[in-house]
Amino acid sequence: MSFTIARTVEDALAAIAAGARPIAGGTDLVVGARHGKAALPADLVAIDRIAGLDDITAGSAGLTLGANASHHAIEHHPVVAGSYSALADGSALVGSPATRHVGTIGGNVMNASPAMDTGAGLVVLGAEVELRSLHGTRRVPISELWSGPGRTIAQPEELCVAVHLPQPAANSGSAYLRLEYRRAMEIAVVGAAANVTLAADGTVAAVQVALSAVGPTIVSVMGLDTLVGSSVADAAEAAAAAASAQATPISDVRASDRYRRHTVGVMARRAVETAARRAAGETIAIPVNRTLGIGAAS
């Protein structure tokens, strides 16, 4: 049993190589342990005090989120909110204000919950995860990171140190929405993110859609290339149909598979519509759920 506080990434990597589990905010680990999901690991290395690991850096090459960037910081970062809105929409919905302060993007991504609120946004924005170990660094496209509920392809000695997002295309916009039964403290019943690029004539130049809580991992909706050139309304309808068709939801205490399959289409349609409005220059405040009242209309 050990608990060490890492001051540098190298400290953390050494501890991880020796068998320790990284802990940032710790919410998922501590709650999970108490609910008997998985015992608290015997050896822990706290990574929340590594200088600079919570930096959010925006530049011409895109956006880099240090793994320790909190949901609160992401939600309120002007560049994230303006140019990577789907991510900010998601971070702004995570848990409670306290959870958003403690919870980090690295922890969220590596926890690999299919219901995570940032995942679909990261997928449509083309994020890559930077995994580092004592042996080196690699970047993994985010949709390849998750191998199942709570599982990633990361090796035990690897630490997620950053999430990278490419510069969004001109005339693009993104949004993430989830179905929720109350306006806060929710877990997504289903969710959908869209990234839409508009052509000069207002038709769709590119569209990506990803879904949360309708499969073992975040679902990337396939086959949307055919929508290039179509109107936003047509693209939204087609995305909704594709989302419902490609979802593989389960039935549980929160919703039946049938209801999830339907509502994920609704969320996908609204995500495309909202992303397109943002692409056209409209300001729709973060998070879309509370601004437009998705699910529970405002």
Partner 1 sequence: MTVTTPAPNPARFIRADGPDKVTGSGRYTADLTLTGMLAAKFKYAGIAHGRITRLDTTAAKAIPGVFAVLTQADVPNVRFGPFVQDRTLFADGVVRFEAEIVAAVAAVDAATAQRAVDAIVVEYELLPVVNDPETALAADAPLVHTDWASYGASGALVRERNDASFSSIAKGDVERGMAEAAVVVRSRYDADGCHAAPIEPRAIVAQWEGDKVTIWTSTQVPYDARAGVCETLELPANRVRIIVPHLGGGFGGKCGFHFEAHIAALAKAARRPVRLLFSRREEFLAPDKRRESICYDFETGVSSDGRIVARRVTLVLDNGAYTADAGFFSQLGAMHALGPYRIPNLLAEAHLAYTNHQPSGSVRAPTAPQTCWALESHTDEVARAIGMDPVAFRQLNAVDTGLEGPTGQIYGEIGVQECIERAARMAGYGQQLPDDEAIGVAIGWWPSFAVPSGAYVKIDGDGSAQIITGAQECGTGSVMTLPQLAADELGMSAADFQLVYQDTSVAPYDMGATGSQTLFNNGRAVIAAAAQIAQQLRALAADHLEADPADIVLADGQAFVAGTPGRAVPIATLAGIAAGGELLIGHGSGMPPGPPPISGSTCVGDAGMAAWVAPQFSCHAVRVKLDRDTGVARIMHVAAAHDSGTIINPLGAEGQVQGGVLMGIGQALTEGTGYDNEAHQRTAGLLDYKLQTCADAPPIDIHFVQINTPNAGPRGAKGLAEAPNVATAAAIANAIAQLVGAPVRQLPMTAERVWDTLQEVAQNTIGGAA
Partner 2 sequence: MSESIILSVNGMQYPVTIDQGRNLLSVIRGEVGLTGTKEGCDDCECGACMVLLDGQPVNSCSYLALQAQGREITTVEGVLNGDAMHPLQRNLLEAGGVQCGFCTPGMIMSATALLQRTPAPTEEEVRVGLSGNLCRCTGYTKIVEAVQRTAAELQGS
Interface residues toward partner 2, by CB under 8 A:
1-3, 5, 23, 25-27, 30-31, 33-35, 40, 44, 46, 48-49, 72, 95-99, 101-102, 183-185, 290
Least distance CB 92 / partner 2 (angstroms): 9
200 in contact with partner 1 (CB under 8 A): no
254 in contact with partner 1 (CB under 8 A): yes
Cβ atoms 174, 121 nearer than 8 A? yes
Token digits of residue 111: 């926890």
Alpha-carbon Rg for the chain in angstroms: 19
255 in contact with partner 1 (CB under 8 A): yes
Reported as half-sphere exposure (CB side, CA atoms, 13 A), residue 74 has a value of 38
Least distance CB 293 / partner 1 (angstroms): 7
Least distance CB 272 / partner 1 (angstroms): 14
180 in contact with partner 1 (CB under 8 A): yes
Number of residues forming the site for partner 1 (CB under 8 A): 24
Of the candidates 146, 138, 125, the residue with the CA atom closest to the CA atom of residue 209: 125
Least distance CB 3 / partner 2 (angstroms): 5
Cβ partners under 8 Å of residue 281, min gap 6:
none
Of 55-63, 193-201, 212-220, 249-257: span binding partner 1 (CB under 8 A): 249-257
Eight-state DSSP code of residue 104: B
CA-CA-CA-CA torsion sign (143, 221, 286, 150):
negative
Q: Are strands 2-5 and 62-66 parallel, antiparallel or unpaired?
A: unpaired
| Closer CB to partner 1, 120 or 294, in the complex | 294
Cβ atoms 86, 127 nearer than 8 A? no
Least distance CB 281 / partner 1 (angstroms): 26
Name the burial class of residue 169, with classes exposed (0-12), middle (13-18) and buried (19+) by CB atoms within 10 angstroms of its CB.
Answer: middle
39 in contact with partner 1 (CB under 8 A): no
Residues that bind partner 1 (CB under 8 A): 179-185, 187, 189, 253-256, 259, 262-263, 266, 290, 293-298
